[in-house]
Amino acid sequence: MPLGSNTKFYETPNHPYQGERIDDEARTLETYGLKNKEELWRAQSELRSYRQEARDLLGDAQGDAEVAAEAGAEFLARLKRYSILDENESLDDVLSLDLTDVLERRLQTLVYRSGLANTPNQARQFINHGHITLDGARVTTPSMKIEAGASDNLEYEERSPLADDLHPERAGGDQE
C-alpha cells in the first residue's frame, strides 16, 4: 500500500451523535487509557472482522460446527495464541466475544495489569518512552497485541531509571 493512501483500518460510527454510545466510548477510553477514539474504533473493527470470519466459516460449512472448526483451525489457533479465546472455546464462542476481550491483549493494558504502572495512561507513557521490554527487547507500541505466555516476560528496561526499585514513579512506589 503506497504511503499517503486514504485507507483507514477502522470504521467510524454510523450516527456520530448518540449520547449513550459517546458515554460508553469515553468510559472505555478512560478504562484502557486509549489515546483517542480511533484506537477504540480500530479494536471494534478488529472484533468485527473476527466475528465476520467466524460467520463466514460457519456459513461455508452450512452450520456444521465441526466442519467449520476444521476449516478455521488456523483462525482459532491464532485467537487462542493471543488468549482472545480460551483453549476449550470453539468457533461459536467467537460470535460472543466483546470489545474487552480484544483490548485486554494490548501491551498497554498488560503493562498496567502486571503492576509495572500505576494507571493505564502511565503504562502508555512508559511504553512510548522505551522503559518497557518484552522478552528483553524494548517495545514502544502501546497497541501491540501480546501472545498469552509473553505477558510474563514484561519488565522495565535495564538502563531505564525505572529499573531502580526506589524510583518515585514506579508502580507501588507511593504506597506506605
* pLDDT tens digits, 28-82: 999 999 999 999 999 999 999 999 999 898 888 886 777 887 888 899 999 999 9
For the chain, how many structural domains are there in total?
2
pLDDT value at 5 more than 80: no
- If one compares 167 and 99, the residue with the highest pLDDT of the two is 99
Q: Which residues pair with 145 in a beta bridge?
A: 106
- With respect to residue 7, please indicate whether it lies within any of the assigned structural domains: no
- In this structure, the answer to whether residues 81 and 122 fall within a common structural domain is no
Asked if residue 3 belongs to a domain, the reply is no
User: Which pLDDT tens digit goes with each residue over 102-134?
Assistant: 999 999 999 999 999 999 999 999 999 999 999
If asked whether residues 24 and 54 sit together in one domain, one would say yes
Please report which confidence band the pLDDT of residue 176 belongs to, taking 50, 70 and 90 as the band edges: very low
Residues 118 and 157 in one domain: yes
Has residue 124 been placed in a domain?
A: yes
CA quadruple 33, 148, 127, 161: dihedral sign = positive
Q: Assess if residue 167 is contained within a domain.
A: no
C-alpha 103/C-alpha 109 separation (Å) is: 7
Domain of 141, CATH number, reads 3.10.290.10
pLDDT of residue 67: 81
pLDDT, the chain, mean: 89
How far apart, in whole angstroms, are the C-alpha atoms of residue 141 and residue 108?
8
Q: Please tell me the predicted confidence (pLDDT) of residue 174.
A: 45
User: pTM (2 decimals)?
Assistant: 0.86
Residue 142 domain boundaries = 105-161
Residue 109 lies in a domain: yes
Domain annotation covers residue 80: yes
Give the torsion through C-alpha atoms of 107, 109, 115, 119, to 10 deg: 120
